[in-house]
Structure 1
Amino acid sequence: MSDPVSPSQLRQDLYRLLDGVLETGRPLEILRKGRLLRVVPDQPVSRLDQIRTDASVIVGDPEDLVSVDWSSEWDPARALHP
């Protein structure tokens, strides 16, 4: 959990902070008069929904990866003792 924000910080970045709660599901804590207030989303956020895709990770056709033969690269001795 991140550090609590002050009411002044909350006022400055209200929409950004609230959007962060909705996107991540992590509560926002506000420290006011020595006490903590917490803003939480009404529904849990799935961690899988937060995964961002990057089309540049695989260059080429992903289906080609299915038939890649790595047997010439595999060394049993190195696999057991890297």
Structure 2
Amino acid sequence: MQLIKPTALRENIYKILDGVIKTGNPQYIERKGHVIKIEASKQPSKLERLTPHNAIVGNPDDLISIKLEQ
């Protein structure tokens, strides 16, 4: 684990962020005795976030033989 200071982060923020995204390795920053972790995460797609719904009420086989009346 390599700790960097906030000044080094400020000087190279885009380089550090691009490195985290490219390698997937987190970067640790030390500030006032605390360690802050910058880590890349992948947001799930809209399709992956959908929740399944049981929308058919009743027997699904009855839908096959629906007769439309006019």
TM-score, length basis structure 2: 0.57
Correspondence for 1:41: 40
Correspondence for 1:15: 14
Correspondence for 2:31: 32
> What is the CA–CA distance in structure 2 between the aligned matches of 1:42 and 1:7, rounded to whole Å?
22
> What is the CA–CA distance in structure 2 between the aligned matches of 1:19 and 1:4, rounded to whole Å?
17
Give the match's secondary structure for 1:16.
helix
Gaps of 5+ in 1: 44-82
Q: Which has the larger radius of gyration?
A: 2
TM-score, length basis structure 1: 0.49
> What is the CA–CA distance in structure 1 between the aligned matches of 2:17 and 2:3, rounded to whole Å?
13
Q: Which has the higher strand share?
A: 2
TM-superposition CA deviations, 1:13-45 (whole Å, max 9, x none): 0000000000000001000001100010013xx
